[in-house]
Every structure is written in structure tokens, then in C-alpha cells.
Amino acid sequence: MKLQIDYNNMMADYVGPQEGFTRQDIESLAGQLQAAHQRMLAKRSAGEMQWRDLPWQQEAEVRQIIKTAREVRRRCENFVVLGIGGSALGPLAVQTALNHLHYNELPPDKRGGPRFYVLDNIDPERVAALFDIIDPAQTIFNVISKSGSTAETMAQFMIVYQMLRQKLGSGYAAHIIATTDAERGNLIKIARAEGYATFIIPSGVGGRYSELSPVGLLPAAVCGIDIEELLAGAAYMDQLCRTADVFANPAYLLAALQFLAMQRGKNISVMMPYAESLKYFADWYAQLWAESLGKRYNLSGEEVFTGQTPVKALGATDQHSQVQLYTEGPFDKVVTFLKAGSFRAEVDIPRVFKHVSGLAFLGGHTLGELLTAEQLATEYALMKAARLSFTITLPEINPFTVGQLIQLLAVKTAFAGELLHINAFDQPGVEEGKNATYALLGRPGYEAKKEELAARPAK
């Protein structure tokens, strides 16, 4: 069951010659595409893109994850992920995509596992609110941090650690699972010293590319998701994304068209799923695309200020808030629709109010038909207004197609980074804010930064 990718509405034949591209436009990139492909190959063989091999190289880990997940399901009522950014958005996206939309509210025998929470913020109200509704004795916390030092995640972990010790005494360590790097950071040291169950994020796998590592696999398996199918889908897509032929490689084609669009000033990338279950994929993708491509310098050290601002939208909800801007506002966007080929539940619209012609036409259809029609209609309205869009259809939303989607978007992002000649795997722009936070809270070694902050203009 393969994802279908429709890029017609990026092309001049559909949206017109002013905005749309031609096959020749894509072919004119041949030299850049080939060079980018070669760099992808070189990075992959140098182990710098280990995330691409995750679908194949984790047999032992997958067995261990499935075993641990079984144990977790047996032992607890709540499973809480402590993490942020790449250590939180993937688990949330996959769980929402593949489980019941009111998973947590279902009775235990109707759920695939314990109630699932992702604590990806440090808002004290949110943290306190979660503690109000969970019983620590019935909860397992999965602290996820690649660096093992992110302030938000480590602060949450410290709070949970203390609470568990106070409430559970000596058995507290069995309520913590750490997912982190094998060497870097404090988390691995603490986990080893304390004897927590621990999963390792491989070294060539950065935060936002880590969903198919234990970062995403453990929470998914705990919630009853078939992670072997998820990986099989990703492996299948990865095979499709190996060829240098841009017209046969879905990730390369999407990246090449986005690259052409960026060159014409399309600075905004909208992701608009027409399926509530894919809502958080737009969040996951926003981080992947923004943090990977938003760069001041290219690999030659020149100032380039690259990237597209991601916007998250949801069909049909945001038709009534954002689509007016997409059709009539500035010509600065590329919209990616995510479409469900079928829905896991269907609801009939009853044939009532037959005498009211403005309503009678709805009766006899299903909500799925209405939503699908609205997606097509929005796509059409954008095309008519000469606006660029892609549509990625998941014939069914299942672990195999979701695995494909994850790998497709990750390879697309990495390849776009190569075309832009930037490092898609670092995030230097986040560092300044992190360092300023450390200085404000008095972390040793940040005294100079504290002075720098004190000298800023008064407000």
C-alpha cells in the first residue's frame, strides 16, 4: 500500500506559467540534483545519516522494545513521555495517527495500552495538571533526551524523580525509562548509576530525525502500535528514495519542487492534513522543516538566510480561518495536503430536512465523503488562484503508510538541505536562547553570558 504523491498543482500546466514549473525547470537542476545525491550517498556511508538505516538495523532493539512495552502495559495505567522537540513530536504524531482519537478516554480493555501523555512543555500549570490526574504508583515515565542535558526535559525529570522517590520509596527506579545517547550528557550517567531501563539513540540520529529509533518506537509499542509494520513502511519508502532519478524518487521530486519554489520567493510551507488523525504530523513536520532548513550560513560559510516558515493547518477546520489568505493573499506559499484514502470510522449524514434544498443535498452522503470533497475543492480553489500545492494520499492510515510518510518527509528534508547547500542536521540558532536561559538561572560557566545579558538595553 504505497503513498500516492500528486504534484500536478506545482506545474505550469495546472496553475499556469506564471507560478507553475515545467519539466524543463526540474531538468535544469540536473547538476545540482546529481551533486546533492552524491553528498547524500557520501554522508550515508560515513554514518552521518544513520536515521536512514533505522528501518533495517534495529532487530535486537525492536525485540527488546516489544518486550519492554509488554511489561509496561502489564504494570501501569499511564505512560508519560518527558521530552521536547524531536524527542516529543514524533511520539505524539504517531500515536495520534494510529490510535483511537479519544484513546486516553477509552476503557482499558478497548485501548492498546496505558493512557498516554506527552509532556513537551514546562508550563507549571500543565505539569501540575498532569500530576493531578495520574497516580505515580500506576505510571511509568519515559524521559527522552538525545543530548541528555536539555533544560526543559531534565527539569521535568528532576521533578518526577523526587516525586517518585517521595511517594514510592525504594521501588521508584522501576518507574523510569531513559532514552538517550550512549555517551553524551547527564541522563545516561544517571540512568546507569540508578539502574533505569535504558534505550540508546544511535549516534548518527539527530533529535528531529529520531522517530524511528527507540524515541518513537517504545511509546508506539507501549500503545499497541505495530512497530515492525511502521519500520517496514519506512524501509519500503527508503528503497523508493534511493534512485538518483528525480522523477522516480518521490522525496527528491518533492524537495526539488520546493527548492524551485523557494527560489521564486515562496517562503512559507503549509502542511494541511485532511484527517484529524494526521493533525500532529503537521507539528512534527514543522519542526523537521524549520529547524533543518532555517540557516543563516551555507556550507561555504556564506550568509544565505535559507528556509521556509512552516504553517500548520487542519482541514476542514482551517478552511474557515486560513484558506482565504492562501487563495488571495501573497504568492508566498506552497501547501502540502495530507489526504486519507479512507477513514477508520464513517458517519452517515441522515436524509432529514428534505424540503430544505440548501441542506437536502448533504443527506445520504457520509462525513468522510464531505471531508474528501472539501479537500479536493480547496485544492481546486488554490489551483484556480494559481497557488502551488502537493497532495500526499495515504490510501489507509496504518503503520505501514505512516512509516512511509515519516521516511519520505525526512529524506525530502535532508535532500532539500543538500540542494540548499546547508547543514540540515544542526540548529546553531537555538543555542543563543539556550545559553541565555542557562545564564539567567545561574549555571556555572555562563557568567560572561550573564554579564552580556545584564548589559542589554533596559526596557
Establish if 207 lies at the interface with ligand PA5 (CB under 6 A).
yes
**Can you spell out the DSSP letters for 164-186?**
HHHHHGGGGGGGEEEEE-SSSHH
Region from 41-49, 85-93, 127-135, 439-447 binding ligand PA5, contact rule CB under 6 A: 85-93
Taking CA 348 as the corner, what is the angle to CA 344 and CA 351, rounded to the nearest 5 degrees?
170
Whether the upstream peptide bond of residue 316 has omega within 30° of 0, thus cis, is yes
> Does 85 interact with ligand PA5 (rule: CB under 6 A)?
yes
Residue 20's SS3 state is coil
Given the rule CB under 6 A, which of 11-19, 32-40, 201-209, 437-445 is the region that contacts ligand PA5? 201-209
**Helical segments of 211-320, H only:** 214-222, 227-240, 250-263, 279-293
**Smallest gap, in angstroms, from Cβ of residue 29 to ligand PA5?**
27
Q: Which of 2, 365, 421, 434 is catalytic?
A: 434
Given the rule CB under 6 A, which of 53-61, 143-151, 396-404, 442-450 is the region that contacts ligand PA5? 143-151
Q: Which is nearer to ligand PA5, 104 or 437 (CB)?
A: 437
What is the pairing mode between strands 115-119 and 78-82? parallel
Is 333 among the residues known to form the active site? no
Residue among 20, 55, 86, 216 that touches ligand PA5 (CB under 6 A): 86
Q: Binder to ligand PA5 among 113, 114, 206, 233 (CB under 6 A)? A: 206
- If one asks whether residue 403 binds ligand PA5 (CB under 6 A), the answer comes out as no
Q: Cα dihedral sign for 66, 71, 73, 77?
A: negative
Return the residue of 32, 64, 104, 147 that touches ligand PA5, per CB under 6 A.
147
* Backbone φ/ψ region at 13: left (φ over 0), alpha (ψ -120 to 50), beta: alpha
| The one segment of 60-68, 146-154, 192-200, 308-316 that binds ligand PA5 by CB under 6 A | 146-154
Q: Which of 211, 291, 379, 418 is catalytic?
A: 291
In the sheet with 388-394, reading across from the earlier edge strand, the strands are 4-6, 388-394, 333-340, 268-274, 309-312
Give the nearer residue to ligand PA5 in terms of CB position, either 86 or 136: 86
Does residue 434 have an active-site annotation?
yes
Q: Does 211 bind ligand PA5 (CB under 6 A)?
A: no
Told to check if 204 binds ligand PA5 by CB under 6 A, we report no
Residue 278 or 424 having the CB closest to ligand PA5 = 424
Nearer to ligand PA5, 114 or 148 (CB): 148
150 lines the binding site for ligand PA5 (CB under 6 A):
yes
Confirm or reject binding of residue 208 to ligand PA5 (CB under 6 A): yes
Distance CA 335, CA 357 (A): 33
Residues forming the active site:
291, 320, 434
The site for ligand PA5 (CB under 6 A) is made up of 84-87, 145-147, 150, 153, 206-208, 291, 427
